[in-house]
């Protein structure tokens, strides 16, 4: 876990974004015709969790050019992320969707946990999963801002700023996938079925998936069979082919 030092914070904390209250100047006697509203203005403070250093380094460099944002720390897995959120007060957490390692898992299970545990911290989902199913379930879980890793990193700051004030924001690729899903929703998997297949495709055993999702092996097996039946798949090879064709498999350098 890397927490931003004073030098890093100083380099990105001289901007203007949120107005937090104001008071009008008043003088005794004649009213001042040039009353001024003093505003205390603060940058949006956020952290990022991603298991790929190239991503966190890129975000840190990008933020240096955005004085309305302040990067307070970086995490490499869900354990570091939760520890960072528990000790650092921030408005937004940018999280990788697929982030192996850590006791809190990743994907939808991590999203739901974070929204329960840290309800005052907005989430921005940064994902290399090119899947409309993942977008839909993430939005249902409560994530309003999603950025695709296939889009230029410059689309991340607007998402962070939007999340800080409770607004929605999708990067261009995410908008495209959401539009395609609305036009042709196809088979509807439950969030749990989606997570089970995704984790299995990423190389986890059923026992490991069960441990990560806090379910029994029997339950995971049943959800796998249910998902495969809905999708018309008859073998593990079919599952992998379907996942590759529908953007569930992330590229080697992005999650």
The residue with tokens 């008859």 is 234
pLDDT of res. 18: 33
Q: At what angle do helices 172-183 and 132-141 cross, to 10 degrees?
A: 100
| Tens of pLDDT, residues 142-188 | 999 999 998 998 999 999 999 999 999 999 999 888 776 554 556 67
- Residue 255: predicted pLDDT: 54
Going along the chain from its start, the domains and CATH numbers come out as 44-183 (3.40.50.2300), 191-246 (1.10.10.10)
Count Cβ atoms below 10 Å from residue 61 Cβ, excluding itself: 10
Structure tokens at 191: 């969030």
Distances (CA, A) of 229 to 169, 186, 187, 245: 34, 14, 10, 18
Summarize pLDDT for 227-245 with one digit per residue, the tens.
Answer: 888 877 878 887 887 777 7
Whole-prediction pTM: 0.66
Burial of 131 (0-12, 13-18, 19+ CB in 10 A): buried
pLDDT digits (tens, 9 = 90+) for 52-99: 999 999 999 998 889 899 999 999 999 999 999 999 999 999 999 888
Token code pair at residue 128: 């290399």
Distances (CA, A) of 218 to 141, 222, 250: 25, 6, 27
Instruction: Give the pLDDT confidence score for residue 252 in this predicted structure.
Output: 40
């Amino acid at each position: 876990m890397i927490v931003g030092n004073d030098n890093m914070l100083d380099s990105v904390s001289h901007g203007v974004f949120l107005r937090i209250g104001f008071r009008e100047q008043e003088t005794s006697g004649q009213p001042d015709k040039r009353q001024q509203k003093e505003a205390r203005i603060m940058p949006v403070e956020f952290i990022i969790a991603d298991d790929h250093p190239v991503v966190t380094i890129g975000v840190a460099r990008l933020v240096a050019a955005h004085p309305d944002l302040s990067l307070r720390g970086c995490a490499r897995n869900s354990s570091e992320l939760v520890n960072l959120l528990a000790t650092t007060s921030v408005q937004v957490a940018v999280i990788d969707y697929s982030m192996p390692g850590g006791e809190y898992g990743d994907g939808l299970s991590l999203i739901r946990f974070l929204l329960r545990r840290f309800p005052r911290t907005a989430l921005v989902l940064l994902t290399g999963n090119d899947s409309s199913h993942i977008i839909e379930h993430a939005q249902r879980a409560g994530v309003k801002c999603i950025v695709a890793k296939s889009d230029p990193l410059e689309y991340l700051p607007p998402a962070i700023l939007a999340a800080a004030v409770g607004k929605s924001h999708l990067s261009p690729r995410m908008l495209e996938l959401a539009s395609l899903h609305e036009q042709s929703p196809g088979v509807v998997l439950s969030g749990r079925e989606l997570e089970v297949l995704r984790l299995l495709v990423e190389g986890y055993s059923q026992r490991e998936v069960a441990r990560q999702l806090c379910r029994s092996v029997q339950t995971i097996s049943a959800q796998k069979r249910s998902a495969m039946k809905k999708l018309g798949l008859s073998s593990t090879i079919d599952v992998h082919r379907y996942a590759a064709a529908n953007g569930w498999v992330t590229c080697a350098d992005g999650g």
